[in-house]
Chains A and B, each alone.
Chain A
Amino acid sequence: MTKAPVLILGARSDIGKAVAHAFAALGHPIQLAARGVDNLETDRADIAVRHNVEVTLHAFDALDTGSHAAFVDGLPALPETAICAVGLMGEQADNERDLEMAAQVMRSNYEGPASILSVLANRFEDRGHGALVGISSVAGLRGRATNYVYGSAKAGFTAFLSGLRNRLAKKGVHVVTVLPGFVATQMTEGMDLPEKLTAAPAEVGDAIVAAVTKKRNVVYVRRIWQLIMGIICNIPEPVFKKLKL
């Protein structure tokens, strides 16, 4: 039995690669999409050799929103599941002073992902089935001094995914919002992250496969993050504004 293809947007990221492996392990053909996709040849080979599935590479620029419809047309097949792992954190200090940089972060985490998921959502809706997965962030649940530029863009993306899920719920298309918490990736390398709160990319991959299979709506990779964010979101603003978080 041939399985339905899975599209990974932002396939150069560690989470993108981990999700690709998790779906390939179940026998799904994989479409890897990213900027500078030629650099992914080794990873393409790895997924294909390990899991004995077909893996294709596709040039994709999340910020070039005008190209998104043509990008989807150019895929070998309309995927059954699409995962958006596009994102850019930057340094908060740079994001505060350099407004170009801040705009880049906002566009990479919100505008670009929302644009490509809109194109895919319309195609999936016409077809009547499919799953869309957006990797957002717990940072979007409440703005904090240490990363609110990134966080605000993720907040927008989270709201977008929520609305998209609401719109498509009766159309056979499922939308998953992933709020991973800390993940040990290239993006966080060198940061001093607490071990118990930090997931390996493979855990995120497995959690996404489970979420798609079981049609979950909002998933935290490590449960503890639900508790932590519950507390953070409930701190009264007069107190919160004075905290260092």
Chain B
Amino acid sequence: MKLSGWGRYPVMEARVHAPRSIEALRDAVRTAPAMIARGNGRAYGDSAICSAATLETRHLNRMLAFDPETGQLIAEPGVLLGDIIDAFLPRGWFPWVTPGTKFVSLGGAIAADVHGKNHHKEGSFRSCVDWIEVMDATGAITCCSPTDNQLLFEHTLGGMGLTGVITAAAIRLRPVKTAWIRQTTHPAPNLKAAMDVFEAHQDATYSVAWIDCLAKGDDLGRSLVMLGEHAELGDLPGDRRQSPFATPKKNKRKVPFDVPTFTLNPLTVRAFNRLYYWAGARKTGLQVVDWDTYFYPLDAILEWNRIYGRNGFAQFQCVLPLEASEAGLSALLDAISTAGAGSFLAVLKRFGAQDSVFSFPMEGYTLALDFPVHAKTLRLLSELDRITLDHGGRFYLAKDSRMSAATFAASDDRIDAFRAVRSDQNWQDKFTSAQSERLTP
């Protein structure tokens, strides 16, 4: 069947299997000439597509055990973060690390070693992973952790599914007192001001900035920096303290059709961004917002990926080392605003230090934005690749759908070592994705 990632680009023909048990998964792994596991398909590009065999984990979505003393949850890989929140937030637990959508699978979160708004303080998803079980090409399952079978653990976290199939994982949840977040918004008139806000608030649990990528000149990098803390009982108005985990039920809206691409042009995007900034700048100071609004604003609009039209869109996300961040971000934003090709929501975030074999984050700043796919934006994306490389940055594989093998090779000095281990361990013969093929010279 035709398969694509969340960006709906590229679309590829692939054999898809959705095994209903570990035994059925084992049979599928053994018989497939080559394969990749796929969770909920929220990687943007071709990370979870293998034309020979794409094994979906959606039926392997059971929770196996929970320890209310330690907050440790053991679950199969197809469980979604949203399922975990549904089950455990009413009991006072929340994921330690969550990306901007709750529709990611546990297996996918581990394979991409996803990050959240607390990366600068609490690291990537691996910080909450106690152990994982991984099935190899023969169908044998190995349990690995930071202390046992380290090599497998280190390469599976951020390994994009290229080390085997995750069959179970133990993660720790965070105890919370309420389902609410205390949010403060700091308007920043330009990039330097935004970075200053991040640097001044390194102790905030959550921080992220929405950045107007079409602002130019003195306004370049105009942002709203949003900080957040889990609210305590006392932060809630009296009538909410009775049921601190209850939040208002929201209407789910759905984008009902592919929006014609002409509606998304520099004028509409510029107008949207300007309005968003001024509306946000008026709401500074402390607000108490529910978890869903704070962490997952886009999840409220189901199938929002259709807003970019039927050609799909490409997301660009890079990270720049701290010392090169200001110059690099200025150059990136300059290129984007000059091209006039911006996205509705561009995101800037400070990362903390990260020590891992192949995960995306490094200490510095990450910028994420999306573009509808057409020739002009693909040219711009290549230019953004070049600027990122010039400043010593690298790219997030879970978002990538179009980078060249040469760009990838130049972006990360850890690649050769990763490839060597992949070959030593005989992972590469079985576990490959359209992305890994594309990025292999």
Contacts and interface: CB of A to CB of B under 8 A. Distances in A.
A93 interface: no
A45 B61 CA distance: 12
A51 B83 CA distance: 11
A50 B83 contact: yes
A49 B20 contact: no
Interface of B: 20, 62-66, 73, 76, 83, 86-87, 91
Nearest to B18: A189
Contacts, number: 25
Contacts of A50: 63, 83, 86-87
B212 to A, nearest CB: 39
B87 A51 contact: yes
Contact of A186 (B20, B64, B87): B20
Task: Tell me which of A42, A43, A186 has the highest count of chain B C-beta atoms within 10 A of its own C-beta.
Answer: A42
Interface string A33-60: 0000000001101100111100000000
A240 B86 CA distance: 48
Interface of A: 42-43, 45-46, 49-52, 186
A42 B87 CA distance: 17
Contacts of B76: 42
Contact of A46 (B20, B64, B86, B91): B64
Nearest to B20: A186
A49 B83 contact: no
A52 B83 contact: no
7 contacts: A42-B64, A46-B63, A46-B64, A49-B73, A50-B63, A50-B83, A50-B87
Contact of A45 (B63, B87, B91): B63
Contacts of A49: 63-66, 73, 87
Nearest to B64: A45
A90 to B, nearest CB: 19
B19 to A, nearest CB: 11
A130 B19 CA distance: 37
B62 to A, nearest CB: 4
B15 to A, nearest CB: 13
A52 B91 contact: yes
Contacts of B87: 49-52
A47 to B, nearest CB: 9
B20 A42 contact: no
Contacts of B73: 49
A242 to B, nearest CB: 35
B20 A45 contact: no
Contacts of A46: 62-64
A43 B20 contact: no
A51 B73 CA distance: 13
B61 to A, nearest CB: 8
Given A52-B91, A186-B20, A45 B83 contact: no
A40 to B, nearest CB: 11
Contacts of B83: 50
Given A42-B64, A42-B76, A45-B63, 9 more contacts: A43-B62, A45-B62, A49-B63, A49-B65, A49-B73, A50-B63, A50-B83, A50-B86, A52-B87
Task: Tell me which of B63, B66, B76, B83 has the highest count of chain A C-beta atoms within 10 A of its own C-beta.
Answer: B63
A74 B20 CA distance: 30
B141 to A, nearest CB: 14
B168 to A, nearest CB: 10
B71 to A, nearest CB: 13
Of all A-B residue pairs in the complex, the 10 with the closest CB atoms, nearest first, are A46-B62, A49-B63, A50-B87, A49-B66, A46-B63, A45-B64, A42-B62, A50-B63, A49-B65, A43-B62
Contacts of A42: 62, 64, 76
Nearest to B86: A50
Contacts of A43: 62
B18 to A, nearest CB: 8
A10 B366 CA distance: 51
Task: Tell me which of A42, A50, A51, A186 has the highest count of chain B C-beta atoms within 10 A of its own C-beta.
Answer: A50
A110 to B, nearest CB: 27
A185 to B, nearest CB: 10
Nearest to B73: A49
Contacts of B64: 42, 45-46, 49
Nearest to A17: B62
A112 to B, nearest CB: 24
A42 B83 CA distance: 16
B16 to A, nearest CB: 12
A46 B91 CA distance: 16
A186 B20 CA distance: 9
Contacts of A186: 20
Nearest to A51: B87
Contacts of A51: 87
B162 to A, nearest CB: 27
A55 to B, nearest CB: 12
Nearest to A44: B62
A185 B27 CA distance: 20
Contacts of B20: 186
A49 B86 CA distance: 12
A173 to B, nearest CB: 32
A49 B83 CA distance: 11
Nearest to B22: A42
A26 to B, nearest CB: 12
Contacts of B62: 42-43, 45-46
B39 to A, nearest CB: 17
A45 B86 CA distance: 16
A49 B73 CA distance: 9
A51 to B, nearest CB: 7
A59 to B, nearest CB: 20
A43 B62 CA distance: 7
Nearest to B62: A46
Nearest to B66: A49
A4 to B, nearest CB: 21
